[in-house]
Structures are given as structure tokens and as C-alpha cells.
Chain A
Amino acid sequence: MPKGFIIPNKSNITKALEEKHWNMKLALRRATPQSRRATREIGWSVRDRFLICSDVPFYDVFREHLVTWCRERPMLCGRRYDYLFDKGTHRPSLWLFSSSKKMSRGDFLAHLGSFGDVPATKLGDRIGLAFSETKPLIQLDMDQIVPIEEVVANGYQFSDGCGVMGKLLNMLSKPLSNVLYVDKTKDYNFDHNHRL
């Protein structure tokens, strides 16, 4: 991690990060902030609030990056960044968050949900769920969400992550079928039309 980790206020952050070769990019560069739950409901439209430091070799410099980010809180283009979470094991990606007066890092995470019982190893993945690109379908009431039992046979569980829905909700998702389609044999291309 280079010393003097400061970029002047008026410079273009995307261009500045590319020039510095810090493996850092804007985290939400691929889609609009409205396509992610983490930023949609707060109403943020500023993309440079989240930075991602990706492809960090774990045993070499990850810990150094982490400690530096947590303690020094560098200033980039007028924003001071904090550590938000890290994700991945072999080549982890480090997410950074620029807090504001109205919303600190703790407030932001409390807005997403309660992470008190989440194991430390899963924490990054769980927070990362709120950053996945999605399309809003419908606001549900509490009585529309029904807990059902797992499918268990011979002591094994066969329904991991699989729920059910009624026909009406299924019909609602029909217009989406023209938009949301991913061919798994290809690499994800987020700029393509069929991907939000």
C-alpha cells in the first residue's frame, strides 16, 4: 500500500484510480444504483460512495491493505473511505464505504439488516447480497410470506434455498421474462441488453 494515499478533490476518481494502479475500481460501475437494494431505498445516486479493491492475493498484501484502510481512512477525491466488508477467500475483494454525516457505516449496515448472528466468515457474503443486481417485483405484506418446512429424506436436506410461490406472483413475473435472462455458458456481460 503506497504512502500518502490521497487524490486531490477535483480529479476524476475513475481516471485517477486507473492511473495509480491500486487494483481499485468503483464498486457500482456496472449498473445504476437503483438496481441494487443497498442503494435503492436510501436514494443514493452517487457511485463513488463504494469502492472495491479486487483480486488481492490473500496471504501477501490483504492483511496489510485491511489494516491500512481501517486505521488511516484515506481521502480520495474529497471523500474519506472506511472498510465495509471483504468477500472471498483465495483472492478476496475489499469493499470500501464513504460515510456521510447523515449515515455512518453502522447506520448503513443497520439499514440493510441485522448481522449480529452471522458468522465472521459469512459476513461479507451476506452484506454482498444487498449489492446484487435485481429487479423489484412487488412489495409484500407480512401475511403474504409463509414459512414452510424443509424437504428432508433419510436425514438429508434436499430443499436448500428452494421456496415456492403462488400462481399470481408467477404471473407478475411474466413481463420480466423478456428482460432477465442469463445464458450460463457465456461470461456475464452486464452491458448487454438482456441483463439489468
Chain B
Amino acid sequence: MIIIIAYKLLEGWEIAERLKEISRENEVPGSMQIRLGGVKGMLTIKKDFPANKIGIRPSMCKYPSSHRLLEVKTVAKLKRDKDRRKQNTWAEREGQIKERTLFYAVVLILFDLGVPPSVFLDLQRRNWAEICSKWDAGAVKLLQNPINFDEV
């Protein structure tokens, strides 16, 4: 199911939105968007997983932190009738989105669907040339390397 959703260009809590629609009969949230120290992402139920544990993937860990408080940002929940009436169609949602940017997942999917890599490389080269022309050499070098925060 994850693969199917990934091809619809959804990620993160947008997947939670989809799961909510799929599990309409379930009142307990099927997934939730969480924060846990430096961990960011979403959790879904897994039946054969230990009841009081959570599984964290490396892609969710953004930075090391000693905080262990599980925080919930949003949960997937059944829509109420009054909310469902107000829900716009997909076409209307498309009209509301003003700006779109390329990111890793979209590049992967477009590549898999047949877009040649030269297209993305060309875009990358063009962007990089723009950055190099407007920024100092020191700033460009800083962007390429991890930062030592004590020196900021």
C-alpha cells in the first residue's frame, strides 16, 4: 500500500490523510504525526508489533536529542459529516496550490516513470549556477558542509 500511495505523490502526514479515508469505520486513529526529540514523522499501527513500543526508521531521525516525550501533532480521524460537505474536490485543491517544488521523492518517482536523469541534472546545474553567481564563495562552501554550531 505504501508503494501505491508513493506513486500518488503523497508523503508524511498526507499518507495519514489517506489512511483516514480508508479506515472510515475505525474510531481509534490509525496513524498520527509525531515528534520525539529530534525524530519527526508519522506512525501507523502494526498488528504484530509489540503493544507498547514504537518503531523508528533512520529517515525519521533528524538530529540526536535526549528528549523521550512522545508528542502528537495531528492524528488521522474520521471526518464529520459537516466537514465532509465542505471538502473540496481534488481539482479544487489543485487550484489552491500556488507553488510546487521538486524534492527527493518526486524526483525518484518521475525518474521511475521515464523522465531522463539529464532533466534533473540540468535543473540542478542551473540552480547551482544561480546560487554561485549571487552568493559569496564562502557562503557557497558553507552550504556544502555540515556546520559547527559553536562557531556560528
Contacts and interface: CB of A to CB of B under 8 A. Distances in A.
B2 A158 contact: yes
B37 A132 contact: no
Interface in A150-189: 150-151, 153-154, 156-171, 173-174, 176-177, 180-186
A114 B64 contact: yes
B9 interface: no
Q: Is the interface of A mostly helix, strand, loop or mixed?
A: mixed
Nearest to B7: A158
A174 B28 contact: yes
Contacts of A43: none
B44 A164 contact: yes
Contact of B105 (A133, A160, A176): A160
A77 to B, nearest CB: 26
A163 B45 contact: no
A165 B92 CA distance: 34
Chain B interface size band reads 35 or more
Nearest to A59: B134
B58 A166 contact: no
Interface residues of A, number: 67
Given A120-B143, A164-B54, A139 B45 contact: no
Contact of B2 (A139, A162, A185): A162
Contact of A166 (B28, B49, B142): B49
Contacts of A115: 63, 147, 149
A118 B63 contact: yes
Given A113-B37, A114-B63, A164 B75 contact: no
B44 A150 contact: no
Contacts of B70: 136-140, 169
B56 interface: yes
B72 A168 contact: no
Contact of A162 (B15, B112, B149): B15
A193 interface: no
A163 B146 contact: no
19 contacts: A41-B69, A112-B65, A134-B72, A140-B69, A147-B55, A148-B56, A150-B57, A150-B58, A157-B59, A161-B41, A161-B42, A162-B15, A163-B57, A164-B43, A164-B46, A164-B55, A166-B45, A170-B28, A180-B75
Given A118-B62, A136-B69, 19 more contacts: A37-B69, A113-B63, A120-B147, A123-B149, A134-B72, A137-B70, A142-B68, A147-B55, A150-B58, A158-B3, A158-B6, A160-B59, A161-B57, A162-B2, A162-B43, A162-B60, A163-B54, A167-B45, A176-B72
Interface of B: 2-3, 6, 11-12, 14-15, 17, 27-30, 32, 34-38, 40-47, 49-60, 62-75, 77, 79, 83, 86-88, 92-93, 96, 104-105, 108, 112, 134, 142-143, 145-150
